[in-house]
A and B are shown apart, each in its own frame.
Chain A
């Protein structure tokens, strides 16, 4: 992967329970979190509660049953419950997320919305490095971008995918590559798989 020298692209440290926390919830956008997401000697079992996404329409969390793992149908399904859960949490709660980058920053946005600080949630990107790219010209989100240049699905501009990442908008910036001279572009390379 090329480095454009831009400092807003996040980097992610391996996860381990924060010893200053009181309760710990790990959320994951797949059926189980990748082992590579954790610090040496740490695994999902070290977190009091683990929420996973099963990709199955019959999956259902069992909130009234004290158990360590709850299953959700999709990330959207999980985020709904997460927002409710966060609204009822107190000081000392720690949130951890594992999965694709766009999922991580959806989780972070939910945490920030209820006033959690950046040291109270921890994120680790795993799986596909495909990017959500925001067309700065027409303001459309282009999902799952794996190439250095992509055609905006809405306005047709040839967008260069900058390393400039907005946590708030949860997207990388796409800027028309040939705005100055039409057709002056780069060979397309698959960089974000």
Chain B
């Protein structure tokens, strides 16, 4: 199916953003059961699964053009949202190759890669980009290779160097992040950059996740879903701009919460890179209002139960304290107490009118 791109979406100011029925049905809903707790919820990232968002290596959906425009805007305002330490140049080229090969394979109607030795030509039709460059020669591209290709993809990316029995966050691009700072975190180990997350350390989640990730092999990527909540469909919820978006959290009322409060899901994908042996993390953010999600009966019931029963420390860490009661009260209208099917799938093929 060829995706029709929405070309005038905005993720700030007037927030011209919504999901089509098809986009709601393919939303990667993150709760496989009616309660939530941290876990090492990783699985192989092979095409297919409980949501169509899992069908390709790097999902391109109806928001592609708008999200790339938003990314360019953030980088123009704050160039340090893309930072890669100098020893990661090989990982930059690995990333460019992986994304170009994957996007051209999975979406031939939108992207084409022609390789003639080191002479590569890249066509990106949705963004109107057509460049010929020499693989391995930085000065033949308008940006360094990681930034060049990340500007043409949805979601954030980080580069992890593996050494001293841990992973180091030695590069990345973060313009759609859930309140973490690339500029502050760059150079941290896996445990350091997860330092602020409550509860999970005590559960041993990060020790086990690190062991799992360090064993990820080339050609065998893995994925997991993570989530938080965001008021308004705002992609740039960075700590840098918290003074701009923090006040949104005080604006919710019983009348507007359904439209303004968004579930923010991260599809995290982890790829071993072939030359550098680094790990590429894709951190792809999906936004849907709770009103949109409640059109799926199973998800409306389940979101009510998950939010109502959420561990207080996790609820506070995710920034929900000011509005969680309002959201739970609003969602209760969709919860008739009926049991829900296990798993994240919507369980329906079209939305009720």
Contacts and interface: CB of A to CB of B under 8 A. Distances in A.
Interface of A: 5-9, 117-119, 134, 136-137, 139, 157, 162-169, 171, 173, 175-176, 179-181
Nearest to B193: A8
Contact of B250 (A117, A167, A180): A180
B249 to A, nearest CB: 5
A7 B191 contact: yes
A63 B196 CA distance: 44
Nearest to A155: B243
Contact of A166 (B80, B184, B246): B184
Contact of A136 (B181, B194, B250): B181
Interface in B52-92: 80
Given A6-B196, A8-B195, A166 B242 contact: no
Interface string B105-144: 0000000000000000000000000000000000000000
Instruction: Say whether chain A's binding surface is mostly helix, strand, loop, or mixed.
Output: loop
B270 interface: no
B185 interface: yes
B345 interface: no
Interface of B: 80, 163-164, 181, 183-188, 191-196, 198, 201, 239-243, 246-247, 249-250, 322
Given A117-B164, A137-B240, A167-B192, A180 B246 contact: yes
Nearest to A178: B246
A7 B184 contact: no
Contacts of B246: 176, 179-180
A139 B185 CA distance: 13
A134 B184 contact: yes
B187 A168 contact: yes
A8 B188 contact: yes
24 contacts: A7-B191, A7-B195, A117-B164, A118-B164, A119-B164, A136-B181, A137-B239, A137-B241, A137-B243, A139-B80, A157-B243, A163-B195, A165-B192, A165-B195, A166-B184, A166-B187, A167-B192, A171-B184, A175-B239, A176-B246, A179-B242, A179-B243, A179-B246, A181-B247
A166 B185 contact: yes
A7 B242 CA distance: 22
Contacts of B163: 117
Nearest to A173: B184
A142 to B, nearest CB: 14
Contacts of A176: 242-243, 246
B188 A168 contact: yes
Contacts of B250: 180-181
B243 A166 contact: no
Contacts of B243: 137, 157, 176, 179
Contact of A173 (B164, B181, B201, B249): B181
Contact of A167 (B188, B239, B241): B188
B188 A180 contact: no
A137 B242 contact: yes
Given A166-B187, A168-B186, A180 B249 contact: yes
A136 B237 CA distance: 13
B208 to A, nearest CB: 15
Contacts of B198: 5
